[in-house]
Amino acid sequence: MPNEPPFVLAISGASGAVYGLRLLQFLLQMGQPIELIVSRAAMQVMHEENDIVLGDDIKQGLLEYLKLSQDVPLNLHRLNDYGASVASGSFKTKGMAIVPCSLGTLGAVAHGLTENLIHRAAAVALKERRPFMIVIREMPFGQIQLKNMLALSEAGGIVACASPGFYHRPQTISDQVDFVVGRVLDQFGFDNNLFKRWKQEASPLPVPNAKTKH
């Protein structure tokens, strides 16, 4: 994708790092340039949930885990680099997603705080009216979190939960992950066939306890 504007992806320290990793893998495989920000808590979650041990070269470690070549269009930013390209509104992007988004990150973004580069890049996306989405995995939600989600939605962001569907008849955890990732890709206009859509090649569902007429 020559001269393609980059997409900003942030992975914060919520459970469900696999969603962000799969999104990163898919976009890089299709040649989409990515500006990536990974929080320290996210790296800890990756270790706990995915057995990923990232050394000093985080980019190389991620690419090896995702089985991608080193020449994919990936630019990794340090969490405290306020001089990074994505910290400025004049740096054009296709939008930004935080996948998964921790409740702490949600609160910071909803209230305009910029304590790290994830927060700052999110603030830029919102003020520039670019597509912006967060994917929350936590449950249940208290009033504080619900109000923060509403504030973010009112500011122009898209709020989603990592809630896989079942109408596509998933057989594996990967099927469930791809459903969520596919729905995220849809919001930004990225073509994908990661999941079977409603009524797409659907077969009749069996009726529980149905009696057959003879």
Q: What is the pLDDT of residue 212?
A: 45
User: 71 is in which domain, residue-wise?
Assistant: 7-187
Strand partners, 7: 34
Tell me the per-residue pLDDT of 29-43, one tens digit each, with 9 for 90 and over.
Answer: 999 999 999 999 999
Q: Tell me phi and psi for residue 156, to 5 degrees.
A: 110, 0
Each residue's pLDDT tens digit, 95-131:
999 999 999 999 999 999 999 999 999 999 999 999 9
Q: Is residue 169 part of a domain?
A: yes
Task: Write down the mean pLDDT value for the chain.
Answer: 92
Q: Is the peptide bond before 73 cis (omega within 30 degrees of 0)?
A: no
Long-range contacts of 88-91 (CB under 8 A, 24+ apart): 88/124, 89/124, 89/127, 89/128
Whether residue 121 lies inside any domain: the answer is: yes
Residue 143: give its domain's CATH number.
Answer: 3.40.50.1950
The pTM of this model reads 0.90
Contact 60, 72 (CB under 8 A): no
Domain count along the chain? 1
